[in-house]
Structure 1
Amino acid sequence: MTLTTYGTRIDLRSLAPRERHPLVFNTLRSLGNGESVELINDHDPTPLREQLRAEWPDRFTWDDQQAGPEVWRVRIVKLASHGDSRCCGSCGGA
């Protein structure tokens, strides 16, 4: 099994399904605020998006780049949180 990465692009198709979400979360944790990753998958990543929303509300943007039927691509951008050194701007600095 070979994991193919291209800078900020991760091709998940070669991984076992049980390995995909942990890899994505580890990758997102390693990103700085405003940095992004593009994921390539062989099925609709909606369950991943819902898991991200549940575990990291308001910490990322999700932009569908391609929606099947054989390949799905999504770009995820990590946003700042109030625990970070910069305000994310969503509250006007409160």
Structure 2
Amino acid sequence: MDTIDVRTIIPRDRHPLIFQTFDALADGAGFELVNDHDPKPLYYQFLHERPGQFTWQYLEQGPSTWRVAIRRQSQDNPTDSGAQDHD
């Protein structure tokens, strides 16, 4: 799984890069997001813009480093909420 460490990226460029990366994924593929804060706003943006298309799993929850596995759902097996283990 590829890793995207957005801690060194200008904040306004982070979400577009993450969505561009997600949109290029094959079904079932994913990446690990590394951030310096809880990316919960990004999670809600995914719910709004890519409903039923993704899974979200926290791998590490702070305090200084947050890691999330984000995967593209198979089109044959979408979820209702688009998320798993988001809390």
Q: TM-score, normalised by structure 1?
A: 0.80
Out of 61, 64, 80, which is 2:58 matched to?
A: 64
Give me the CA root mean square deviation: 1.6
Aligned ranges 1:1-12 → 2 under 5 Å: 8-12=2-6
Structure-2 residue corresponding to 1:4: none
Secondary structure of 1:40's aligned partner:
strand
After superposing on structure 2, the runs of 4+ consecutive aligned residues of structure 1 that deviate more than 4 Å are: none
The answer to whether residue 29 in structure 2 is matched with residue 35 in structure 1 is yes
Where in structure 1 are there 5+ consecutive unaligned residues?
A: 1-6, 82-86
Between Structure 1 and Structure 2, how many residues are aligned? 80
Q: TM-score, normalised by structure 2?
A: 0.86
* Greater Rg by CA: 1
Residue identity (%): 43
Where in structure 2 are there 5+ consecutive unaligned residues?
A: 80-87
Q: Could you say which structure has the greater relative contact order, defined with CA pairs below 8 angstroms and 6 or more residues apart?
A: 2
